[in-house]
Amino acid sequence: MTLDELLAQVLAFRDERDWKQFHTLRNLIVSTSIEAGELLETVQWKTDAQIDSQLADPAQLTQLKHECADVFIYLLLVAHTAGIDLVEAAAEKLKLNAQRYPVEKAKGSAAKYSEL
Protein backbone atom coordinates (compact mmCIF):
# COMPACT_ATOMS: atom_id res chain seq x y z
CA MET A 1 0.00 0.00 0.00
CA THR A 2 1.26 3.48 -0.82
CA LEU A 3 1.13 6.47 1.48
CA ASP A 4 -1.57 8.03 -0.73
CA GLU A 5 -3.67 4.87 -0.55
CA LEU A 6 -3.35 4.78 3.22
CA LEU A 7 -4.31 8.45 3.46
CA ALA A 8 -7.38 7.76 1.32
CA GLN A 9 -8.41 4.99 3.74
CA VAL A 10 -7.85 7.24 6.76
CA LEU A 11 -9.90 10.03 5.20
CA ALA A 12 -12.69 7.61 4.27
CA PHE A 13 -12.73 6.25 7.83
CA ARG A 14 -12.92 9.82 9.18
CA ASP A 15 -15.58 10.94 6.73
CA GLU A 16 -17.80 7.88 7.28
CA ARG A 17 -18.01 8.92 10.94
CA ASP A 18 -18.44 12.65 10.25
CA TRP A 19 -15.32 13.44 12.28
CA LYS A 20 -13.86 16.04 9.92
CA GLN A 21 -15.68 18.69 11.96
CA PHE A 22 -13.39 17.86 14.89
CA HIS A 23 -10.20 17.59 12.85
CA THR A 24 -8.96 21.14 12.98
CA LEU A 25 -5.22 21.51 12.61
CA ARG A 26 -4.87 22.39 16.31
CA ASN A 27 -6.92 19.38 17.42
CA LEU A 28 -4.96 17.04 15.16
CA ILE A 29 -1.62 18.33 16.46
CA VAL A 30 -2.82 17.97 20.05
CA SER A 31 -4.04 14.45 19.32
CA THR A 32 -0.72 13.54 17.70
CA SER A 33 1.06 14.63 20.86
CA ILE A 34 -1.32 12.67 23.07
CA GLU A 35 -0.80 9.54 20.99
CA ALA A 36 2.98 10.08 21.10
CA GLY A 37 2.64 10.19 24.89
CA GLU A 38 0.83 6.85 24.80
CA LEU A 39 3.67 5.45 22.69
CA LEU A 40 6.14 6.75 25.26
CA GLU A 41 4.10 5.12 28.01
CA THR A 42 4.85 1.68 26.51
CA VAL A 43 8.49 2.08 27.61
CA GLN A 44 8.08 4.24 30.68
CA TRP A 45 10.08 3.01 33.70
CA LYS A 46 11.58 0.12 31.74
CA THR A 47 15.20 -0.70 31.11
CA ASP A 48 16.49 -1.20 27.59
CA ALA A 49 16.62 -4.94 28.29
CA GLN A 50 12.97 -4.98 29.37
CA ILE A 51 12.00 -3.04 26.26
CA ASP A 52 13.92 -5.49 24.08
CA SER A 53 12.08 -8.38 25.71
CA GLN A 54 8.76 -6.65 24.98
CA LEU A 55 9.40 -7.27 21.31
CA ALA A 56 9.34 -11.03 21.92
CA ASP A 57 5.90 -10.86 23.58
CA PRO A 58 3.20 -10.82 20.86
CA ALA A 59 0.71 -8.89 23.02
CA GLN A 60 3.20 -6.20 23.95
CA LEU A 61 4.46 -5.97 20.38
CA THR A 62 0.88 -5.51 19.19
CA GLN A 63 0.36 -2.72 21.72
CA LEU A 64 3.55 -1.00 20.52
CA LYS A 65 2.49 -1.46 16.89
CA HIS A 66 -0.94 0.05 17.54
CA GLU A 67 0.51 3.06 19.36
CA CYS A 68 2.93 3.64 16.46
CA ALA A 69 -0.01 3.43 14.07
CA ASP A 70 -2.03 5.96 16.07
CA VAL A 71 0.83 8.48 15.93
CA PHE A 72 1.32 7.82 12.22
CA ILE A 73 -2.37 8.20 11.37
CA TYR A 74 -2.66 11.50 13.21
CA LEU A 75 0.56 12.73 11.60
CA LEU A 76 -0.88 11.87 8.18
CA LEU A 77 -3.98 13.90 9.03
CA VAL A 78 -1.89 16.84 10.30
CA ALA A 79 0.14 16.90 7.10
CA HIS A 80 -2.95 16.50 4.90
CA THR A 81 -4.77 19.32 6.70
CA ALA A 82 -1.74 21.63 6.49
CA GLY A 83 -1.05 20.76 2.85
CA ILE A 84 2.32 19.17 3.60
CA ASP A 85 3.77 16.37 1.48
CA LEU A 86 5.30 14.22 4.23
CA VAL A 87 7.66 12.35 1.92
CA GLU A 88 8.95 15.62 0.46
CA ALA A 89 9.20 17.20 3.93
CA ALA A 90 11.14 14.21 5.30
CA ALA A 91 13.55 14.27 2.35
CA GLU A 92 14.07 18.01 2.83
CA LYS A 93 14.69 17.56 6.56
CA LEU A 94 17.12 14.72 5.93
CA LYS A 95 19.17 17.00 3.65
CA LEU A 96 19.15 19.71 6.31
CA ASN A 97 20.24 17.21 8.97
CA ALA A 98 23.06 16.01 6.72
CA GLN A 99 24.35 19.58 6.68
CA ARG A 100 23.89 20.02 10.43
CA TYR A 101 25.44 16.67 11.27
CA PRO A 102 28.33 16.06 8.88
CA VAL A 103 29.68 12.52 9.20
CA GLU A 104 33.17 13.68 10.12
CA LYS A 105 31.82 15.59 13.14
CA ALA A 106 28.74 13.61 14.17
CA LYS A 107 29.76 9.98 13.70
CA GLY A 108 29.43 8.16 17.02
CA SER A 109 28.31 11.31 18.84
CA ALA A 110 24.94 12.09 20.40
CA ALA A 111 25.72 15.81 20.58
CA LYS A 112 23.26 18.32 19.13
CA TYR A 113 24.43 20.02 15.93
CA SER A 114 25.03 23.28 17.82
CA GLU A 115 27.56 21.45 20.01
CA LEU A 116 29.55 19.74 17.23
Delimit the domains of the chain by residue range: 3-84, 85-116
CATH of domain 3-84: 1.10.287.1080
Q: What is the DSSP string of 47-77?
A: -HHHHHHHTTSHHHHHHHHHHHHHHHHHHHH
pLDDT in tens, 41-74: 999 999 999 999 999 999 999 999 999 999 999 9
Whole-number pLDDT of residue 69: 98
